[in-house]
Amino acid sequence: MNNPISNVQIIEDPEYGVILVCPDLELADQFEDFLTEKHSVLFHIKFEPNQVSFFFGKTNTTSKVKELFNQFMLSS
């Protein structure tokens, strides 16, 4: 089985800020629940056929988003 963390990309875009891209739609749904129900994190989401992108904006850093995703993985 593939490691879901290795499939997730966290990038910093000059226009949109930090973006987490998840190709696993079920994992993305669980991560969205984690963000909204447990952490009240503000983000925008974009659904595409083979991936979900979470836009965290310019106020976050890639290390903070990675830490948040790691917390999510440890909690599930």
Q: What tens digit of pLDDT does each residue of 19-57 get?
A: 999 999 999 999 999 999 988 888 999 999 999 999 999
Q: Sheet of 44-48: strands edge to edge?
A: 9-13, 17-22, 51-57, 44-48
**Residue 58 near residue 67, CB atoms below 8 Å:** no
Give the pLDDT confidence score for residue 1 in this predicted structure. Answer: 43
In total, how many domains does the chain have? 1
Domain assignment of residue 16, given as a range? 4-75
Q: Whole-angstrom distance between the N-terminal and C-terminal Cα of the chain? A: 16
Rg, C-alpha atoms of the chain? 11
CATH value at residue 48: 3.30.70
Give the pLDDT confidence score for residue 40 in this predicted structure. Answer: 84
Does the pLDDT value for residue 6 go beyond 80? Answer: no
pTM: 0.89
- Give the type of residue at 75: S
Q: Residue 5's pLDDT band (boundaries 50, 70, 90)?
A: low
